[in-house]
């Protein structure tokens, strides 16, 4: 099995890209930015599956299963993804995830 830090790095890199593309925005109304953000959230959700249980238990403030579920909705039910909910996730949950993983 690969070292879990590879997955942490992938998640943090995706967060960095989300931060860069969403910087100075108030919404995800730009279709290209929205699509890019969804792709990066899929990458985050996929990599979360490979984060060890011990790390997840250490950061109980993160709703790990919800992030994985978000990935599944984006991947399999793209037509029901709500831009406003994704924006709230980007604004409120991504910084907490970044904080939790930056020293792992």
Total domain count, the chain: 1
Query: What residue numbers bound the domain in which 84 lies?
Result: 4-101
Question: Which residues have a catalytic role annotated?
Answer: 71
The CA distances from residue 75 to 9, 47, 79, in Å, are 22, 14, 10
Confidence class for position 90, pLDDT limits 50, 70, 90: very high
- Stated pTM of the model: 0.92
Q: Is the dihedral of CA 92, 95, 91, 13 positive or negative?
A: negative
Confidence class for position 78, pLDDT limits 50, 70, 90: confident
Token pair, residue 36, equals 């890019």
The CA distances from residue 57 to 5, 13, 34, 71, in Å, are 16, 22, 31, 20
Whether the CB-CB separation of 94 and 18 falls below 8 Å is answered with yes
Q: What is the pLDDT of residues 17-61, one digit of tens each?
A: 999 999 988 889 999 999 999 999 999 999 999 999 999 999 999
């Amino acid at each position: 099995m690969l070292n879990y830090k590879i997955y942490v790095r992938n998640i943090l890199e995706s967060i960095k890209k989300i931060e860069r593309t969403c910087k100075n925005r108030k919404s995800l109304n730009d279709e290209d930015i929205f699509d890019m953000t969804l792709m990066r959230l899929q990458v985050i959700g996929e990599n979360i599956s490979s984060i060890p249980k011990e790390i997840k238990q250490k950061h109980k403030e993160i709703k790990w299963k919800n992030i994985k579920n978000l990935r599944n909705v984006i991947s399999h039910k793209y037509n029901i993804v709500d831009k406003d909910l994704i924006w709230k996730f980007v604004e409120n949950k991504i910084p907490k995830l970044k904080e939790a993983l930056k020293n792992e």
